[in-house]
Amino acid sequence: MLKPYFKDQDGPPPLKAACRRVVRLEEVDALGIVWHGRYPSYFEDGREELGRRFGLGYTAFSAVGVILPIRRLTVDYLSPLKYLEEMTIEADLHWNEAARLNIAYRVFGADGRLAASGATVQMMVDTDGGLLLEAPAFYRDFQARWREGRL
């Protein structure tokens, strides 16, 4: 087991979402395995599913003038995926009090093996690029429901 990407905070357990997809031809290299640079895109698929499931999509943040650039991206490659292989991408949003999103990812191959894992930290900034010290009201309300177990 890999070391956790985020330390446990005094808050509720992570929120989870998963999606499935198939490796496309354009994603593999000459060896027939997924090129390493594609995994952040797979993480984004998981992030998008998390956003859809919990109402935290990019458009929800954009509607209140907040953008979410990536500050940190970590990828651990464990076992290659191959052309036409079905994969499952899991994304876990981890609790934190800061104006940011801490998300851990796992990508599983068709046989259930862990192919890759990783994490992103996305900061909340205004449309001028200014770092927010406090999350927008809709996200603070979301956090209150999360903490109370109402999600």
Place of tokens 């005094």: 10
131: three-class secondary structure by DSSP? strand
Residue ranges per structural domain of the chain: 15-147
Class of domain 15-147: alpha beta
- Spatial separation of the C-alpha atoms in residues 111 and 21, rounded to whole Å: 14
How does pLDDT run across 10-60, given as a tens digit for each residue?
899 999 999 999 999 999 999 999 999 999 999 999 999 999 999 999 999
128: three-class secondary structure by DSSP? coil
Average pLDDT of the residues of the chain: 96
Beta partners for residue 133, in sequence order: none
Alpha helices in the chain (DSSP H): 39-54, 58-62, 137-147
Q: What is the DSSP letter of 28?
A: B
pLDDT at 73 over 80: yes
Rounded mean pLDDT of 104-126? Answer: 98
State what percent of residues in the chain have pLDDT above 90. 95
Q: What are phi and psi of 78, to 5 degrees?
A: -120, -40
Q: What are phi and psi of 10, to 5 degrees?
A: -80, 85
31: three-class secondary structure by DSSP? coil
Pairing of strands 114-123, 125-126: unpaired
CB–CB of 87/81 below 8 Å? yes
pLDDT at 8 over 70: yes
Structure confidence at residue 1 (pLDDT): 54
Structure confidence at residue 22 (pLDDT): 98
Report how far apart, in Å, the C-alpha atoms of 141 and of each of 10, 117, 123 are: 17, 30, 18
pLDDT at 2 over 80: no
Instruction: Please give the model's pTM, rounded to 2 decimal places.
Output: 0.95
